[in-house]
Amino acid sequence: MKLFCLNTIFLLLFLSCNASRQNKAEASISPSETGRESVPANFTYYVFNWQWEPREKAFKVLIPQDWKIEGGIFRIDPNTGGGAANAIEAKLDFIIKKDATGSVMTHWFPDMFYFDSRYSPAGQMGMFPVGSNYNGMTVLPFMSPSQFAVQVVLPYAHPGATQAKITSQKDLPELARAVRQEDNMVIEMGFSYAASVTTVEYVEKGTTYEEKFVVAIMNLGQAGAGMWKNRYTYSIRAPKGELKEFEPLFAAIGNSVTLNRQWVIGEVRGQMTRAGIMNATLEEINRIGQEITNHRQKTNEIIQNDMYLNLTGQEEYVNPYTNEIELGTNLWDHRWSSNSDFVIYSDDPNFDPNRISELNHFEYKKSPVHKRTIK
């Protein structure tokens, strides 16, 4: 099937990270940093609100109160981008950050095709040097996930970073297998995959930061004549020594990401059109869209198991106002939803946001866990 040979059906990265219940006592985060309201000392809770990806409403995600979002879906015009290789699928470049400088932030990076010209006769003749454009792809030698994190992603995200050094690196074979499975839902394409999480320290504007990068790399091999692609590229960062304190918030953010199924179906249809596949039925498009949505959630759960040593998991909750199923984290014992897109987590069994003056301008109800069947 041409669609899968061109690898056009694989949409956005939605990575989630998680934290251990054992870390809760260590997470001494101040209210101003996390969106926690001023409350009596015997209450601890965290306030989030749902926000849609701002450009196309491709997904919704829980954002800590007073944090900021930046970026979103974008598309590459093949006429101005030098070719069609990266113009078929939607791209995502999306940041959630605590403040304007992004001192604490999480960043989703776009999936992009690259071209290793060493496997091309024209490249072997010196016609496509590193950094040039080949059919819309930047010419770069094939890289491992860790190399890609340090040599490509870090300079892209933080061009002023200096004194960068890798402090830890771990291969993620289960993530690599999950991405391969997602990319081969219909037909085995024979591509190879690798994934890793790499922790990097660096200095930016006088502050030393610690950032974890998750990267999966797809190598199209001989059939792709030098083409390769980053998949599932994601990072979390904070000032050195503070990253663990913010892991509960990153977990809540990542676990909440919910794809807009109608957007996914529309994107599948658009990719088929742009790839020249005109004979797909509506039933087939809907099926592919649903498979992508389901598999992306499963892959997110795998990434949670790789991102940290001790973990909690993703949970499904029932919104008490709409009866819709919402994704969240089970890091905390209690979850409350309002009638205006706010969500509050707490471990205190006596906590009731309807009795807190800073919160009770909205009505809140408890969100029960949805008992799902694992297939």
**Tens of pLDDT, residues 213-261:** 999 999 997 777 889 999 989 999 999 999 999 988 998 898 888 899 8
Is beta strand 137-139 parallel, antiparallel or unpaired with respect to 113-115?
A: parallel
Q: What is the DSSP letter of 206?
A: T
**Distance between CA atoms of 37 and 54, rounded to whole angstroms?**
26
Q: What is the mean pLDDT of the chain?
A: 82
Question: What integer pLDDT is reported at residue 44 of this predicted model?
Answer: 83
Question: What integer pLDDT is reported at residue 252 of this predicted model?
Answer: 87
**pLDDT tier, 91 (very low <50, low <70, confident <90, very high otherwise):** very high
- Taking the CB of residue 169, how many other CB atoms lie within 10 A of it? 16
For residue 373, the Cα-to-chain-centroid distance in whole angstroms is 25
**pLDDT tier, 313 (very low <50, low <70, confident <90, very high otherwise):** low
Asked whether the whole model's pTM tops 0.75, one would answer: yes
Asked whether residue 32 carries a pLDDT value surpassing 50, the answer given is: no
Asked whether residue 304 carries a pLDDT value surpassing 70, the answer given is: no
The larger pLDDT score, comparing residue 231 to residue 300, is at: 231
Question: What integer pLDDT is reported at residue 16 of this predicted model?
Answer: 31
**pLDDT tier, 286 (very low <50, low <70, confident <90, very high otherwise):** low
Q: For the chain, where are the E strands, in sequence order?
A: 45-52, 59-64, 68-74, 91-97, 105-109, 113-115, 133-134, 137-139, 162-171, 192-204, 207-219, 227-239, 258-259, 314-318, 325-329, 334-338, 342-346, 364-366
Question: What integer pLDDT is reported at residue 121 of this predicted model?
Answer: 74
Question: What integer pLDDT is reported at residue 330 of this predicted model?
Answer: 84
3 state DSSP class of 349 = coil
Tell me the per-residue pLDDT of 345-368, one tens digit each, with 9 for 90 and over.
Answer: 999 999 999 999 888 888 999 999
63-84: average pLDDT = 95
Question: What integer pLDDT is reported at residue 127 of this predicted model?
Answer: 82
Range in 2-11, 121-130, 155-164, 222-231 the model is least confident about: 2-11
Rg (the chain; Cα; Å): 21
Contact between 156 and 132 under an 8 Å Cβ cutoff? The reply is no
**Distance between CA atoms of 11 and 217, rounded to whole angstroms?**
15
Contact between 316 and 326 under an 8 Å Cβ cutoff? The reply is yes
Tell me the per-residue pLDDT of 180-226, one tens digit each, with 9 for 90 and over.
Answer: 988 877 567 789 999 999 999 999 999 999 999 999 999 997 777 88
- Cβ within 8 Å of residue 242, ≥6 positions away: 104, 210
Three-state secondary structure along 89-130? CCEEEEEEECCCCCCCEEEEECCCEEECHHHCHHHHCCCCCC
pLDDT over 70, % of the chain: 77
304-322: average pLDDT = 68
- Contacts of 70-76 spanning 24+ positions with Cβ under 8 A: 70/94, 70/95, 70/97, 71/95, 73/12, 74/110, 76/136
Asked whether residue 279 carries a pLDDT value surpassing 70, the answer given is: no
Range in 62-76, 215-229, 302-316, 319-333 the model is least confident about: 302-316
175-184: average pLDDT = 87
Q: What is the DSSP letter of 333?
A: S
**Distance between CA atoms of 64 and 253, rounded to whole angstroms?**
8
Asked whether residue 326 carries a pLDDT value surpassing 60, the answer given is: yes
Question: What integer pLDDT is reported at residue 371 of this predicted model?
Answer: 77
